[in-house]
Amino acid sequence: MILQAYRLPQGGFIDRNKPLRFRFNGRDLQGYAGDSLASALIANGVHLVGRSFKYHRPRGIFSAGSEEPNALVQLEADARTEPNMRATQIELYEGLSATSQNCWPAVGMDIGAVNNTLSRLLPAGFYYKTFMWPPSWWMKYEHYIRKASGLGVSAHDPDPDFYEHRHAHCDVLVAGGGPAGLGAALAAARAGARVILADEGFQPGGSLLHETTAIDGMPATAWTRHILAELASLPEVSVLTRSTVFGYFDHNFLTIAETVSPHAPRAPRQRIWKVRAQRVVLATGATERPLVFADNDRPGIMLASAARTYVNRYGVRPGNRAVVFTNNDSAYLAALDLHRSGVSIAATVDPRPQANGEIATQVRAAGIRMLSGQVVVRARGTRHVNAAEIMRYENGRTAGAVERVDCDLLCISGGWSPAVHLFSQSKGRLRYDETLTSFVPAASAQAEQSAGAARGVYALADCISDGYAAGSQAATACGLSPAPPLAEPVVDRPSPGTILPLWRVDTDHTRRAKSFVDLQNDVTTADLALAAREGYVSVEHLKRYTTLGMGTDQGKTSNINGLAILAEINAAQIPAVGTTTFRPPYTPVTLGALAGAEVGPHFDPVRASAMHGWHQQAGARFINAGLWKRPQFYPHPGESLQQTINREVLAVRRRAGLVDVSTLGKIDIKGRDACVFLERVYTNRWRNLAVGKARYGLMLREDGMVFDDGTTTRIAEEHFLMTTTTANAVRVMSTLEYWLQVHWRDLDVRLTSVTEQWAAMALAGPASRKVLARVASADVGDDALPYLGYREMDVAGFPARVFRISFSGELAYEINVPADYGLAVWEALLEAGQSSGITPYGTEAMAVLRIEKGHIAGMELDGRTTPADLGLEKMIAADKDCIGKRSLALPALAAADRKQFVGLVTTDGRSAIPRGAQLVADSGHPLPNPILGHVTSTCHSPTLERPIALALLSRGRERYGEKLYAMSPLTGANMQVEVAHHVFYDPEGKRLRGC
């Protein structure tokens, strides 16, 4: 095998001393450091790289950059595989392995290519037309359609790499490191600005890397190195390579996807930069447009600028005998460079009567055959182009005989389109420029300016100057004094002539062949014509109907041609047709990069109490409560879940239990008006609460629904401690702050969240007093610390707040200690309770205890229940207002048939009542069966030795003793239940009073 047969003997921005081995479709090949995968493939004569999306037509390398529609490969295999990677942008590395996509069994022999033969059966909108009937079959069709279409495949194994995000701030962000971008970065940096320059390539420089002209007396590549060296020497300048600015959001927030150099140790694979820039310079360059003619998708057809890039930057020959087809002068540079590199130029073909620029003159001087007033009507060859068919072009029509010119490389250029994607994302307004035949930025919407080719300034010297000016202006706008003006670059480059718009070559001669507008999505001129006939005149509709401009390239090479052809078909003006919306990302971004470091167990932070380590060692199972990890239960070896819960519940009912309640929200309320404030936010009275006493409080939303509940304790005359539920802790704090700061600014109240300051544990059960007394420094008897009493004391030698409150319905104490003492106190209480059979219990047992007692919790506080619904109407003080009270008088909230809080028992005394079951009067009623209510909380009560549940039931309190059915469409359960009072256990509350 001949190594790199298409490598030029010299030249290029590659390191010929560093050969790299790589593998493509199972073949071992060689390239050089500095190659892209595409250039290395071309060096080895590989042109057939993939198959197209719909027709499975052979496709080759079409461009040399991020606009590539065809040469998409599957990079690497297994867990690290990445689909749809543009070969034109992959930096070659030792051992790289890639395969073609969308072909089976192989790119050279692909069964799906039958779609090309059947193509008349696959018109635009084919999926919508064919597979919609019968509707129920769509799911079946979809399965096969997905298999048959699509591009690469994603990895199935967990990603072995990691990713990260990085926030960055700068004075000037420059997107694009070509001539304008380098100029802008340099001018801004010299003015002292903090500059970030991001370039998508693995070598910054953009078009300078394939430029053969001298700048300021040195080769363009040397000039580029010179500028980069100066930028690297400045501490406030960051030059990011392999970094695509892919999103431009509100208020100059831009996102950059960086592929981290494979050589960086311990670094992430990719990184997302989140940049907030004072000013932005968009130096994103321009994309060359293809020309549209029959079979214009054959391998060996490529953009003229790409051919230039391969020859000049990579030192490879994309063909031996070329035809250059262009409607503007830029492609003549390609003709000259190819010619110089030994590629024979069979002809240049130009629809213009006479190519009038100085560059064309140079081509003529080189003795190249120039066909003026002619067009390529068709490419010949299937797996590789082997000839161009050429006709005369007069008054917008083809005419005369067909001339066939043999070639293995067909370079095309339909003009240039500024890459206005980021500009459009920034909400800037575009304008159509007839002279340039392209959309250019018109009015900025943010602190941004475009420079160079991104705004239609194409001459190299002008690009650099435009960049200088933009960078200087951006620095000035940041309040910096501009550096001395940079000298105008001296560039030896003749000026180009004018472009002749040529959106498609339409000729009877080739009517049955396909002329591709969008190469990636296989959208042809015929598809556009069909869509127009069917009424898709809006460009946004056209896009969705034909898929023009969709896919991984988002139509970078097809959008302008597509809408110009639509304009031609509809005899409309291009500006009137307009563009589709440009949305982020500019090029595809991996999900791994977007997720960053917040994956797996680190998706969200975890909150853990001071006793968390103890719970872990005790074998607790944890449950998420918001971000908190709470012990759910502490299983003993051999126990079932139900046995564990029963054991923990009965320990509390019969002896003593200890539960970690650190997660409850705790808010310190201080100030002269603390009491007034509580009266406004709670439904009940607070004025008459004595110091050293706690009270249960109920809080409403302004719409009258119960918001939260908890106990609040008067610690001193002007000092209260409020507790909230775990779930609402943050919301309650925020709401209280809202009322104080927005509406009641005259109140003297200071709120401080002390949730994190205190470790909290509830000691519950008939033996709890005895246990606490063993470690408490103060009397905890009923006289000294009665029900709803509060005292400060030492517990196990640590300063503690002790509250005589109960959630379980038993005699109980809640003990708060500064969090760093939490573990010590927890352990001391367990030790003190050992002889009394103390048992740690989790949230499951806690839930059973509260269901037995009929206390409300999150399931009942669903935002739809009023105090009266929950049987708490007595909590509303008659002689004062509070948040939400007025709403309770609205007719809907006072309706007699509202759902009310009740208990349920199964009539068989055995069957568990499913959570979420619906309550109906007659389980045999035909559907729809009128629903009377639903089950909110359910459990097996070890205390009562039967299943019980809580429910919200229409007119529930009138139904005690009534038999209904609980039906669960999820479990299929259907059982008879009897309505009961919601307090199943100790309704008189003797036990919690503990006397």
Partner 1 sequence: MMLIKCPHCGARAVTEFTYGGAAEIARPADPVGVSDAQWTDYVYMRDNPRGVHDEVWQHSAGCRRWIAVRRNTLTHDVIATADPGKLPHR
Partner 2 sequence: MCFTIRKGNVSVAVENQRISALAELAVPAIPAVPGRGIVLWQRHPLAMLNLRGPGDRAFRDGVRQVCGCELPSSPNSSNVCEEGEILTLGPNEWLLVADPDTRWSENMKIACATLTDVSHARVVVHVEGEKAREMLAKGCPVDLHAQRFPGGTCIQTSIAKIGVIIHKLHNENDIAIYAARSYAGSLWHWLTASAAEYGYHVVAR
Residue 124: CB atoms within 10 Å: 23
Q: Find the shortest distance in angstroms from Cβ 688 to partner 1.
A: 22
At residue 640, φ and ψ (nearest 5 deg) are -80, 165
Tokens of 981: 């009072």
Q: How many residues belong to the chain?
A: 995
For residue 798, the partner it binds in partner 2, partner 1, none, with Cβ less than 5 to 8 A by kind, is: partner 2
Contact range with partner 2 by CB under 8 A, out of 96-104, 381-389, 458-466, 600-608: 600-608
494/584 with CB nearer partner 1: 584
Q: Find the shortest distance in angstroms from Cβ 251 to partner 1.
A: 4
SS3 state of residue 599: coil
Decide: 472 and 187 in contact? Cβ < 8 Å: yes
For residue 889, the partner it binds in partner 1, partner 2, none, with Cβ less than 5 to 8 A by kind, is: partner 1
Query: Does residue number 798 form part of the binding site for partner 2 (CB under 8 A)?
Result: yes
372/476 with CB nearer partner 2: 476
Decide: 123 and 524 in contact? Cβ < 8 Å: no
Query: Does residue number 400 form part of the binding site for partner 2 (CB under 8 A)?
Result: no
Decide: 484 and 474 in contact? Cβ < 8 Å: no
122/893 with CB nearer partner 1: 893
Contact range with partner 2 by CB under 8 A, out of 117-125, 336-344, 680-688, 797-805: 797-805
Query: Does residue number 598 form part of the binding site for partner 2 (CB under 8 A)?
Result: yes
Rounded Cα distance between 920 and 974, Å, is 10
Query: Does residue number 827 form part of the binding site for partner 2 (CB under 8 A)?
Result: no
Nearest residue to 509 via CA among 438, 404, 621, 610? 404
Query: Does residue number 745 form part of the binding site for partner 2 (CB under 8 A)?
Result: no
Q: Enumerate residues 756-775 that contact partner 2 by CB under 8 A.
A: 756-758
For residue 720, the partner it binds in partner 2, partner 1, none, with Cβ less than 5 to 8 A by kind, is: none
For residue 670, the partner it binds in partner 1, partner 2, none, with Cβ less than 5 to 8 A by kind, is: partner 2
Question: Which of 166, 383, 392, 493 forms a contact with partner 2 (CB under 8 A)?
Answer: 166
128/738 with CB nearer partner 1: 738
For residue 676, the partner it binds in partner 2, partner 1, none, with Cβ less than 5 to 8 A by kind, is: none
Nearest residue to 370 via CA among 347, 338, 353? 347
Decide: 750 and 812 in contact? Cβ < 8 Å: no
Q: Read off the amino acid at residue 232.
A: A
Nearest residue to 634 via CA among 646, 624, 625, 626? 646
Contact range with partner 2 by CB under 8 A, out of 174-182, 374-382, 385-393, 747-755: 747-755
Q: Enumerate residues 172-211 that contact partner 2 by CB under 8 A.
A: 194
Q: Find the shortest distance in angstroms from Cβ 252 to partner 1.
A: 8
Contact range with partner 2 by CB under 8 A, out of 260-268, 420-428, 577-585, 939-947: 260-268
Q: Find the shortest distance in angstroms from Cβ 242 to partner 1.
A: 24
Find the angle CA(424)-CA(426)-CA(429) to the nearest 5 degrees. Answer: 50
Q: Find the shortest distance in angstroms from Cβ 703 to partner 1.
A: 5
Question: Which of 45, 578, 671, 692 forms a contact with partner 2 (CB under 8 A)?
Answer: 671
Question: Which of 147, 266, 533, 745 forms a contact with partner 2 (CB under 8 A)?
Answer: 266
For residue 742, the partner it binds in partner 1, partner 2, none, with Cβ less than 5 to 8 A by kind, is: partner 1
Query: Does residue number 968 form part of the binding site for partner 2 (CB under 8 A)?
Result: no
Q: Enumerate residues 776-795 that contact partner 2 by CB under 8 A.
A: 792, 794
Q: Which residues contact 77 (CB under 8 A, 6 or more apart)?
A: 97, 99
Q: Find the shortest distance in angstroms from Cβ 426 to partner 1.
A: 12
Rounded Cα distance between 982 and 520, Å, is 65
673/703 with CB nearer partner 1: 703
For residue 530, the partner it binds in partner 2, partner 1, none, with Cβ less than 5 to 8 A by kind, is: none
Q: Read off the amino acid at residue 827.
A: E
Query: Does residue number 609 form part of the binding site for partner 2 (CB under 8 A)?
Result: yes
Q: Enumerate residues 275-304 that contact partner 2 by CB under 8 A.
A: 276
Residues that bind partner 1 (CB under 8 A): 249-251, 253, 276, 427, 445, 702-703, 734, 737-738, 741-743, 745, 881, 885-887, 889-891
Q: Find the shortest distance in angstroms from Cβ 77 to partner 2.
A: 27
Query: Does residue number 621 form part of the binding site for partner 2 (CB under 8 A)?
Result: no
Q: Read off the amino acid at residue 401.
A: A
Q: Which residues contact 650 (CB under 8 A, 6 or more apart)?
A: 942, 943
Rounded Cα distance between 446 and 902, Å, is 59
At residue 529, φ and ψ (nearest 5 deg) are -65, -40
Buried-state track 797-820, b at ≥16 Cβ within 10 A, e below 16: ebebbbbbbbbbbbbbbbbbbbbe
Rounded Cα distance between 234 and 598, Å, is 33
Decide: 984 and 941 in contact? Cβ < 8 Å: yes
At residue 633, φ and ψ (nearest 5 deg) are -165, 165
Instruction: Please name the residue that has the structure tokens 């262009």.
Output: 326
Question: Which of 670, 774, 955, 957 forms a contact with partner 2 (CB under 8 A)?
Answer: 670
Query: Does residue number 797 form part of the binding site for partner 2 (CB under 8 A)?
Result: yes
SS3 state of residue 595: helix
Question: Which of 18, 140, 169, 583 forms a contact with partner 2 (CB under 8 A)?
Answer: 169
Query: Does residue number 595 form part of the binding site for partner 2 (CB under 8 A)?
Result: no
- CA 893 to chain CA centroid, nearest Å: 41
Rounded Cα distance between 92 and 36, Å, is 5
- Using N-to-C axis directions, what is the helix angle for 304-312 and 330-340, rounded to 10°? 40
Q: Find the shortest distance in angstroms from Cβ 454 to partner 1.
A: 23
Q: Read off the amino acid at residue 149.
A: S
For residue 639, the partner it binds in partner 1, partner 2, none, with Cβ less than 5 to 8 A by kind, is: none
613/989 with CB nearer partner 2: 613
For residue 358, the partner it binds in partner 2, partner 1, none, with Cβ less than 5 to 8 A by kind, is: none
CA dihedral sign of residues 639, 644, 650, 652: positive
Count of residues interacting with partner 2 (CB under 8 A): 48
Query: Does residue number 605 form part of the binding site for partner 2 (CB under 8 A)?
Result: yes
Rounded Cα distance between 691 and 970, Å, is 50
Query: Does residue number 267 form part of the binding site for partner 2 (CB under 8 A)?
Result: yes
545/720 with CB nearer partner 2: 720
37/715 with CB nearer partner 2: 715
Question: Which of 160, 353, 485, 613 forms a contact with partner 2 (CB under 8 A)?
Answer: 613
Q: Which residues contact 342 (CB under 8 A, 6 or more apart)?
A: 8, 317
Rounded Cα distance between 287 and 66, Å, is 9
SS3 state of residue 140: helix
Question: Which of 91, 522, 668, 814 forms a contact with partner 2 (CB under 8 A)?
Answer: 668
Question: Which of 501, 575, 578, 818 forms a contact with partner 2 (CB under 8 A)?
Answer: 818
Instruction: Please name the residue that has the structure tokens 């000092």.
Output: 719
Q: Read off the amino acid at residue 835.
A: S
SS3 state of residue 221: helix
Buried-state track 837-872, b at ≥16 Cβ within 10 A, e below 16: ebbbbbbbbbbbbbbbbbbbbebbbeeebbbbbbbb
Question: Which of 447, 599, 608, 623 forms a contact with partner 2 (CB under 8 A)?
Answer: 608
Q: H-type helices in 704-743, by residue range? A: 729-738
Query: Does residue number 799 form part of the binding site for partner 2 (CB under 8 A)?
Result: yes
Q: Find the shortest distance in angstroms from Cβ 994 to partner 2.
A: 24
Decide: 644 and 657 in contact? Cβ < 8 Å: no
For residue 741, the partner it binds in partner 1, partner 2, none, with Cβ less than 5 to 8 A by kind, is: partner 1
Binding site for partner 2 (CB under 8 A): 164-169, 194, 266-268, 274, 276, 597-598, 602, 604-610, 613, 628, 662, 668, 670-671, 715, 750, 752, 754-758, 792, 794, 797-799, 801, 818-821, 823-824
